[in-house]
Structure 1
Amino acid sequence: MFRAGMWGLAALVAALALSGCSNKGRLAPMDDHSIGGARGTTRVLPGAENAGKPGYYTVKPGDTLIRIGMDNGQSWRDIIRWNKLDNPNLIETGQVLRVAPPAPEVAVVRPATSSTATAPMPVASAPSSPATTSAVAPAAPSAVEDAISFQWPARGNLISGFDESKNKGLDIGGKVGDPVLAAADGRVVYAGAGLRGYGNLIILKHNNTYLTAYAHNQTLLVKEDQAIKRGQKIAEMGNSDADQVKLHFEIRRQGKPVDPAKYLSAN
């Protein structure tokens, strides 16, 4: 009995020793809500001073730069550049990112000072000419940017229509390999499979107002930063990350999904 007890105790001690060794160097699971350093202190996340300001976005759990870019009508690469991110895969819940282009710097022109104290004061002149007035008038690009003619990106039966809460675009049926066409001139701001639920995805930026998205493709035929023409074949239809072969097509106005049926020209 004594010998058996000794062997049992030895086994228990060995197990505890191994357990202690195995825990050394193991990182504890990270809690998104436990951001901080020493006990009782809280680390200020990058950009916190801009929280709530127009043109900025506070990162939520599960966010990716691709998703943030699409939801704000921007290229994820531009967001990296505007925020000087060293590692785009490391963004933190609560971090605040710029999601609008920085305002251009305006040069301050100071009036030239006269070298003599007796220089005459300038005499008031006639009102400025129309050319001078138009040079300082604010531009109104929205009317021009809104004048985009979108074409249907694929030919097939409409499987699902737009629903703001359930389906943020149109689902168009077809066969594997059917052509997927650019709905308008634009530039590729994303081509890949990094956004869950969209499969092989292409996002085109048409101007500062509109993006279009083409999801569930079998094959992508374009690359990021490539200029695209309206009607150009950009992908082949498939069922990546989908339950059937289809094209999921979205139009986003300033990042917000809108009903594509209201923008597409007749087939």
Structure 2
Amino acid sequence: MDIIIIGAARSGTNMLRDLLCELDDLATWPCDEINYIWRYGQKEIEHDQFTPNDATNKNKKYIAKQFDWVREKYNVDNVIEKTCANSLRVDFVNEVIPNAKYIFLFRDPIDVVASAEIRWKAELDIKYLLAKARFIPFADIPYYGSKYLLNRVKKIFNKEKRLSYWGPKYKEFEKDAQRMSAIEISAKQWLESVEQSAQSFRKMPNDKYIALDYNTFVNNPAGELSRILQFLGLEHDEKILKKITANVSNKSIGKGYDSINEKKLDQVYEIVGNKYLEVKSEFL
């Protein structure tokens, strides 16, 4: 089974993937994300918001082969995948991997953007970069390498000392990134990711996806993990779930409200409105 975690950047998707991969018969790639694989054959498209029409026989076969690589390398039946840019293209992913199951994870946008703003301004992490670079299609390495280098150079001259791009790229992202602050573009990324995902899941049968809220998850991780595994039809031991979730903390809930000032809060709310509460009400 292929299991795809869908969520905006900084929504807890890494945590969820890592917890699931501590269980038997579940594995993922030895890096954070595989956006380069999902973009196979379409590297020159400047955004990540692909549609089912962008799915070709060539990229379907290539991506399926990468999932099989994980299955064979780790000797598992179930592959977990988490790439935040997929939140913009769930319909495309579903066209490429039609039998996939989905976990839709969303989080309070204030906590998300406070965390994302830090990532926009983060220093270079060579170890993280090299782990992801292993899974760039070989012919695409010069293209992505030059873009990455330029992004880092531009950070030096940016007045906020932030990257020119980071995270999922929705349509018109490039224009927004030029005129918006890091906190504003982070809010817009959250909004586009959640709206696009919700739009796709509304069209799916209920047995294809499960939705969960980050705050609810970290307050009851073993219980929520049990709910996910029941949805996936995978056997589990409650004692093991309690053990692997023992270090899950809820201390990040509300952290964004404490770390960003009132002006930034107003900027975020102006962009995201009540979307978080609307999504919770609709999907939970």
TM-score by length of 2: 0.20
Whichever structure has more strand as a proportion of its residues is 1
Structure with the greater relative contact order (CA < 8 A, sep ≥ 6): 1 or 2?
A: 2
Whichever structure has more helix as a proportion of its residues is 2
TM-score by length of 1: 0.21
